[in-house]
Each structure stands twice: as C-alpha cells, then as structure tokens.
Amino acid sequence: MLRSRVIPCLLVRNNGLVKTVRFGDDKYVGDPINAVRIFNEKQVDELIVVDIDASVQNREPDFKMIENLAAECRMPLCYGGGIKTADQARRIMSLGVEKVAISSAVIQRPSLISEIAEQVGNQSVVVVLDVRKTKNGPDYTVWIHNGKQDTGKCPIVLAKEFVALGAGEIVTNSIDRDGCMKGFDLDLIARVREAIQVPMTVMGGAGSFEDLAQVVRLHGPIGVAAGSLFVFKGVYRAVLISYPSSIEKNSFNKESEKLSNTASKFNDLGKTIKTENTLNSIIKFFTK
Amino acid sequence: MIAIVDYGLGNIRAFANVFKTIRVEHCIAKVKADLKGATKIILPGVGAFDHAMERLSSSGMREPLEELVVHQKIPVMGICVGMQILGKCSAEGQLPGLGWVNGRVVSMREEGLHMNGVLPHMGWNQVRPMHGCKLFEGLGEEPEFYFLHSYCFQTDDPSIIAAESDYGATFPSAVQTGHVYGVQFHPEKSHQNGVSLLRNFAEIQSC
C-alpha cells in the first residue's frame, strides 16, 4: 500500500539554510548541499526546498543553485520560490526537479497553474498555502510574501479552485505554528483534506515524531513535512539533522490502536538508532 | 554503453548520476548520432502521453530507436511515461504509442484505481515482482519505489506483467516483453532499491 511521506522542508536564504519561527527570527542552520547529502543517507521520502527571498525580492529562481541541489538529490525534490512563469517551471523541471511549488504568483494570477500544468503535467504542480488564523474567529486566511501580506482569502476555497485549475498537490503551512514545535493545526488539516481529491502535504508545528504519526493516523496516506523537527535537537535548538528510521516511519502507517500500544517501544528503539546516526551526521555536517 | 534518451522529458541527470556512482558506462543521447554504439537504452519521460510522443518524434531519434530495439533487439527500459509510450495507445491522448509492448494506458480515475479519490498516485509504494523478472533480482518480495502518475498500463496478456502494485486496486507497475522493459515508478529517485534495479538492468545480457 501507498504509505505516507515524511518530508524535510529546507528554507534557503543567501545561499544558506535557515529555519524560522512564525516566518521570522531566522536562524542559520547550515549549507544546503551538505544537508541534502545527509538526507540522502537517511533515505528521506522527499525533500522540499524553498528559496524564501526570491518572491519577496521579486527575482528569478536561482537556476544554478537548483541544478546543484537536484544533482545531489537521490530522492524526489520539490522546489519553490520565485516561480512566476510556465517557462521557469519547465526549466526547473529540466534541471532534475520532480515538482515545482508555487504560492504568491498563483494567488495573484490563478491561471498560471493551468499554464504550468500544461508544460510539466499536473502531477508536478504543487501549490503552497501559507495560512494564518484570523484574529477573532475560527477561520483562516492565506498570506503571501513570507507572511507579510494578508490576501483575505479562505484556504479551503483557494485549495478547491487551484485543484480545479490543475494543481497536483496542495501543501498547507500554518504560519502560527511555524517553528513552534508544538504540533500541527489538526483543524486546518482536516478542513482542507476533505475539500480536495489530490495528494496533500501538511507543514507547520511538528515537534516530535508522534506529531507526524498523529496526522498519518488521521489522514494517511498524506505528506507530513517539518523543518525544525529535522534540524534542531533539544531545548537550545542545537543544529543536528535527524530523521525517523524506516521502522519508525512504517510504524506511523500502522493502524491507530496498534500504534498507540507500541509507540513507546518504537520511541526507545528510535533513540538508540538515532544516537548512532546523529553522531555520524554531526561529524559530516561540520567537516564539509 | 547505456544511452539515456534525452528528448526533453524526464530526469536525465538523475540517471546519469546513478550510473556514474555505480560505474556503468553511459551517455546522454540528444540526437540520432548519439545513439551509435548503444548496447542498452533508458527511455525516461514525464508529462502527457501525446507530448512525449511528439517530442520523441521531433527529436529525430524515434526511427533509430525502432531500428535498435525492434531489429537489433537491444534491451530498453522505459520509465514512467517512457514506460507508457511502449504501449499501443493511451486514454490520455490521441497519438499511437511505440507499440513495443502489448498493452494500453488507462486513466486511473476512470478505472477506479485510487484511494478515496486521491490522484495522482504519489509517493512510496510496494512493488511485487512476478515471473522472476531480472530487474528485481535481490530486491526481496515487496521492495518500495517512488511513484508519481495518474495514468497506468493495462494489458490483456498477464505474461508480460513483471510486477504489480496496489492503490485501491492492483495495477501493473512493471512490464516486460523479451528485451523490452518498462517501470511505472522512478528508480532514479528511489534510493538504494532504485540503484539496485538500474544495476540489474545494466547487468542484463544483451542478445
């Protein structure tokens, strides 16, 4: 059976990787190519790389950087940041990228989705919705330009519209929970999931492997993405790349009851495995 | 020498990277002349069926490929849409396929091949090898590979199904007719299982 995808999301700023909290307060976490190499060894399911300054600075995607990253990736790669035309999307795909992620540009001009889908196929068109809760209500709106501009639009309405135009996957990212590591926004996820019939990936808030497992139990097969969870360790947020083992990942996909009984066992097992892995990772991360 | 056919579709560099890592002699074929000396062929592909057929025809490599595969019986492996165009036709388009494998391409939505209506079929799924297909040698009973597609291969001839997978229902995830192989998943992006499969293809004895 198809299993849920566990996806590290890497943010690029000035050629380095950063991690944000609620879309601000970014902290440098390392070199993109080194991170990709470590994630190759950990056999990650997929990788999302987002250039968070490209759209805000109104510049083109950095094709050279994308080419270098794609050449290194042994796993499917999704790239986002600064894509405004179907031609740019096609060029990025030709560099060895499996999926292109678009956000600001399609919220301003939704027909771009169909244009890109025509060039590269629906299966490779990913729309990212950065979502924030409205001030007084239970509702949500979609924000663009790194969470600086409120579009006033409802994510559920937009998700449906974008799928109808040819989006092959919707990614929701909770700005309120970004970098907080206190769990996903389950209400938002449930509302978008039931509205669309394409694969979905959720992001924003994962603080433990159990947070990932919870979403998988409720909505699997689904993509569960995280930044902080895979790059930080401990309360001081030391940079240390980690990723669940295949045993842990498989455990996410098992039935909820079975899983809750055995979760603690897998956690202990995971810890032992991780200690070894992370030691190797830290050595590699800093020696390159 | 394995020629990776570059007609503008598919992740050519990913294949080249894998072959480089496992030290298999390979080249990227962009024009007819590049196919000279090829003893095996990788035919990648992403996107729409008709678009792939048009691109392959306009690349000028279609006729030489027919000569190599059909007459000289050189092993070929189609990947994703590269597998689908091995068939006779597709529900996704009007153009005929290469017709090297006896089958057609169907819409997974129309055939009820999905879970809760969710398509494309995206992510890691298990592949069950059949008939002892050489591509899967040493890979175990249910190796995982990465899939990304909304159309899939169907055939009335069970003997050509080299592997099956399940997504709501069972579909052929690999086919084989003699020296012509096709896989629906992406070995070039499937970590160690993908590397092993590409190595197996490289080690198949040519006729």
pLDDT tens-place string over residues A91-130: 999 888 999 999 999 999 999 999 999 888 899 999 999 9
Chain B residues in contact with A221 by the CB 8 A cut-off are 115, 118, 123
Average pLDDT over chain A reads 89
Active-site position among B63, B144, B188, B203: B188
Residues 6+ apart with CB under 8 A from A4: A215, A216, A220, A221, A222, A223, A224, A252, A253, B123
Give the range among A113-117, A253-257, B18-22 with minimum mean pLDDT: A253-257
Q: What pLDDT is stored for residue B144 in this prediction?
A: 97
Q: Residues of A at the B interface (Cβ-Cβ below 8 Å)?
A: 1-5, 40, 43, 45-46, 70-71, 73-76, 93-96, 98-99, 119-124, 168-169, 197-199, 221, 223
Query: Do the Cβ atoms of B13 and A71 come within 8 Å?
Result: yes
CB A22 within 8 A of CB B144: no
Half-sphere exposure for B142 (CA within 13 Å, toward CB):
7
Answer whether residue A216 shows pLDDT above 70. yes
DSSP code, position A138: S
Chain A residues in contact with B48 by the CB 8 A cut-off are 121
Per-residue pLDDT of A192-204, as tens digits, reads 999 999 999 999 9
Answer whether residue A270 shows pLDDT above 50. no
Cβ-based neighbour number of residue A3 at 10 Å: 19
Position A267 confidence tier, pLDDT thresholds 50, 70, 90: very low
- Can you say how many angstroms the Cα of residue A89 is from the centroid of all Cα atoms in its chain? 18
Catalytic residues of A, by residue number, are 130
β-pairing verdict for B161-167 and B169-177: antiparallel
Position A266 confidence tier, pLDDT thresholds 50, 70, 90: very low
CB B114 within 8 A of CB B167: yes
Query: Do the Cβ atoms of B123 and A221 come within 8 Å?
Result: yes
Chain B residues in contact with A197 by the CB 8 A cut-off are 116-119
Query: Do the Cβ atoms of A2 and B117 come within 8 Å?
Result: no
Query: Do the Cβ atoms of B46 and A70 come within 8 Å?
Result: no
Identify from B122, B152, B165, B184 which residue to disrupt to test chain A contact, counting A C-beta atoms within 10 A and taking the largest count.
Answer: B122
Answer whether residue A215 shows pLDDT above 70. yes
Amino acid identity, position A211: D
Average pLDDT over chain B reads 95
Q: What fold does the segment set A5-287 form as a domain? A: TIM Barrel (3.20.20)
- Separation of alpha carbons A219 and A188, rounded Å: 12
Q: Which residue has the higher pLDDT, A67 or A136?
A: A67
Over residues B44-64, mean pLDDT: 93
Per-residue pLDDT of A9-40, as tens digits, reads 999 999 999 999 999 999 999 999 999 999 99
Query: Do the Cβ atoms of A71 and B17 come within 8 Å?
Result: yes
Query: ipTM of this model?
Result: 0.91
- Separation of alpha carbons A269 and A247, rounded Å: 9
Residue holding tokens 């299982």?
B193
Q: Where are the domains of chain A?
A: 5-287
Answer whether residue A271 shows pLDDT above 80. no
Position A135 confidence tier, pLDDT thresholds 50, 70, 90: confident
Chain A residues in contact with B147 by the CB 8 A cut-off are 2
Residues 6+ apart with CB under 8 A from B37: B1
Class of B2-203 in CATH: alpha beta
Residue of A nearest to B17 (CA): A71
Q: Tell which residue, A41, A44, A57, has the closest CA to residue A9.
A: A44
Per-residue pLDDT of A77-89, as tens digits, reads 999 999 999 999 9
B128 Cα to chain A: minimum distance (Å): 11
Q: Apex CA B185: angle with CA A35 and CA B153, to 5°?
A: 160
Position A284 confidence tier, pLDDT thresholds 50, 70, 90: low
Position B107 confidence tier, pLDDT thresholds 50, 70, 90: very high
Q: Where are the domains of chain B?
A: 2-203
Q: What pLDDT is stored for residue B47 in this prediction?
A: 83
Query: Do the Cβ atoms of B149 and A123 come within 8 Å?
Result: yes
| Structural Rg of chain B based on CA atoms | 16
B7 interfacial to chain A (CB closer than 8 Å): no
Residue holding tokens 């896989």?
B183
